[in-house]
Amino acid sequence: MTKNQAIEFVSSLSKGIDPQTGKVLFGDTIINRPDIIRSFFDLLELLKCGNDNPLSPFALSSKDGIKCELCGITEFVRRVNEKREEGTQQLKVSRVVNWFVENEYLIIETQGEKNIKLPSQKGIESGISFSEENRYGRTYIKLYYNNKIQNILLDNLINGNIK
């Protein structure tokens, strides 16, 4: 099936028409459910835009304007996302944390029934620190990332090493 044929097929279904016979699909078939009809219209828009995802993968071309100061990873990723290339997906905190683990800046340690992430020696030397904090009666480890490790992260984002 070509892309144009797929567009015609989905277009017919979104209107409640059998794409093979051209006849209206009556009754309480799944095709006539409002959520299915909306899904067909959404799918039609995706097909027409020529991309499975209307946003390109995350991209960052410059460090300009990204404030690098001691903070948690969620705050830093928020700052990076504000400066990402227009029309690209947001960077996810989980992807950054996984990259830190894959590249041995963070290690996963089991404490009781929990897996916690802590800076490795490489992570500490690169600027990751941590403290034990207490919120709502729960104790947890909070990681902090300084300007050195943030710049390492930015360089890898710009070079496309983190997607």
Tell me the per-residue pLDDT of 129-151, one tens digit each, with 9 for 90 and over. Answer: 999 998 888 888 999 999 999 99
Tell me the per-residue pLDDT of 121-134, one tens digit each, with 9 for 90 and over. Answer: 999 999 999 999 98
Residue range 39-65: mean pLDDT, rounded: 75
Residue 76 has pLDDT above 90, yes or no: yes
Residue 109 has φ and ψ, to the nearest 5°, of -120, 135
At 53, the pLDDT band (50, 70, 90 cuts) reads low
Residue range 103-132: mean pLDDT, rounded: 94
Which residues lie closer than 8 Å to 149 by C-beta, 6 or more apart?
A: 105, 123, 126, 127, 128
Domain positions in the chain are 3-49, 73-158
SS3 160: coil
Residue 50 has pLDDT above 60, yes or no: no
Ordered DSSP codes for 85-138: PTTBPPPPHHHHHHHHHHTTSEEEEEETTEEEEEE-HHHHHHTEEEEEEEETTE
The strand pair at 128-135 and 106-111 is best described as: unpaired
Tell me the per-residue pLDDT of 7-23, one tens digit each, with 9 for 90 and over. Answer: 888 788 878 888 888 88
